[in-house]
Amino acid sequence: MKILVANLGSTSFKYRLYDLSGDSERMLARGGFERVADHAAAIESCLAELQTGGSIASERDLAAIGLKPIIARGITGCVRMDEPVLQAMEAYNGLAPAHNPPYVNGARLFARRLPSIPVIGLFETAFYQWAPEAAMRYAVPESWHRQGVRRWGFHGASHKYIAERSAQLLGRPDVADRVRRLYVDGPATPVQAPELRVVSCHLGGSSSVTGIRDGLAIGNSLGMSPQSGLPHNNRVGDLDSFALPFLMRTTGMSLDEAERQMCKEGGLKGLSGGMNDLRDILAGIARGEAGPRLAFDVLVHQTRHWIGAYAFELDGLDALVFTAGIAENNPEIREAICARLDRMGIRIDPAANRQAARGREAVLSAPDSPVRILVVPTNEELVIAREVKRFLER
Ligand code: ADP
């Protein structure tokens, strides 16, 4: 079954083609385009590349298009991206202004271009459907809650991948099986004792931490919008809600300008004085600059804050997992996050941490560390392809 997974940014288009049948999972092709002005043209180029490369003979070989949409009013999980779903996404465009519109547009373009091929989306909020209500509520009036003012959690495809893969690596096929079947069977699949307690740290262009008990998310540091939680590359992360009216009243800043700065001038960029990529921040630290040092330290502090919160909720940890562009690639930040946690049972092996090769799974914990520390490269596209296949088989 050939499934084309498309990753749509406001000016980018990346794709991977998977062939999934039985237990076999093969990636047949991957590619992408930057500085895309017209997603329709990018779709044409993608289809042409797949045919020229021989991974499909014709468009009819595609069983489905898989997407990773962010958020929609009243809808989550793995669903067909029909008009009511797209309209429910548009209702929440304001929550994900950089992310929702390209997906709505892209889904419509795919439907128009390939009308007989289903377009299926796995919402980034899907993994948190079973998180405890107390973890997902804001203390707002009930009428606000009914408007959707609550924590949703994002990065669901990535954290679900980590939940399944870490269970396999920790010798818990029962938990991995539950995670695999989650969006089809719900959390009903029984698992054995003892509980498996994992914290997953996805640190990349956007970052979040998730606590996972027996394969189920107990919450996520991202709240109502993908602008919350940890500081992101340009996006602000958690901010006291009274900061915004205070700033606007005091400086006369407009709402649109405040929103723009929270999305484009905040996060690591705001803290460091203009750098939004950890590689530039590390270079700034090496030059002895204060802003980059602060950005690094705030990201470490916030990550530890959330790890601590979930480790407490989970009554301890079996594994701490690092994933995504920053956490997979940078040993310094992993070491800083794990520093001075000996009495929590978190003991990193500095040599193993430094030797961990990019793009590879690795164990970073010292042999005597009660908590296993792992690097697991995430694979969101594969999660989407798998869920699309299950959706079509249902
Ligand atoms: P996205 O959230 O955009 O999908 P990724 O998970 O790919 O992002 O992470 C991208 C980020 O990872 C970059 O912005 C950069 O900060 C960081 N990064 C990528 N490669 C390295 C590296 N070799 N060393 C340190 N940081 C890196």
Domain ends where: 99, 123, 147?
123
In a domain, 300, yes or no: yes
- Shared domain for 117 and 250, answered yes or no, is no
- Shared domain for 208 and 110, answered yes or no, is no
378 has pLDDT over 90: yes
Q: Whose CA is nearest to atom 20 of ligand 1?
A: 325
- Shared domain for 179 and 252, answered yes or no, is yes
pLDDT in tens, 143-166: 999 999 999 999 999 999 999 999
In a domain, 53, yes or no: yes
Q: Which domain holds residue 101?
A: 2-123
- Shared domain for 187 and 274, answered yes or no, is yes
Residue 351 tokens read as 């040599």
Q: The domain that contains 17 carries what CATH number?
A: 3.30.420.40
Query: What are 208-211's contacts with CB under 8 Å, separation 24+?
Result: 208/153, 208/154, 208/155, 208/159, 209/303, 209/306, 209/307, 209/310, 210/127, 210/153, 210/155, 210/159, 210/162, 210/310, 211/309, 211/310, 211/311, 211/313, 211/314
Rounded to two decimals, what is the model's pTM?
Answer: 0.97
- Answer yes or no: is the C-beta of 327 below 6 A from any ligand 1 atom: no
- Shared domain for 175 and 118, answered yes or no, is no
In a domain, 394, yes or no: no
In a domain, 72, yes or no: yes
In a domain, 352, yes or no: yes
Q: Which atom of ligand 1 is nearest to the CA of 278?
A: 16
- Shared domain for 96 and 176, answered yes or no, is no
Residue with tokens 């502090």: 301
Distance 205 CA to ligand 1 centre (A): 6
Residues 326, 324: Cα–Cα separation, whole Å: 6
pLDDT in tens, 320-367: 999 999 999 999 999 999 999 999 999 999 999 999 998 999 999 999
- Shared domain for 99 and 238, answered yes or no, is no
Confidence (pLDDT) at 325: 96
Residues 340, 343: Cα–Cα separation, whole Å: 8
Domain ends where: 65, 88, 123?
123
In a domain, 62, yes or no: yes
Q: For residue 32, give the amino acid letter.
A: G
- Shared domain for 227 and 373, answered yes or no, is yes
Counting the structural domains of the chain, the total is 2
Residues 85, 106: Cα–Cα separation, whole Å: 13
- Shared domain for 213 and 94, answered yes or no, is no
Q: Whose CA is nearest to atom 1 of ligand 1?
A: 205
Pocket test for ligand 1, best of 208, 234, 279 (most atoms within 8 A of CB): 279
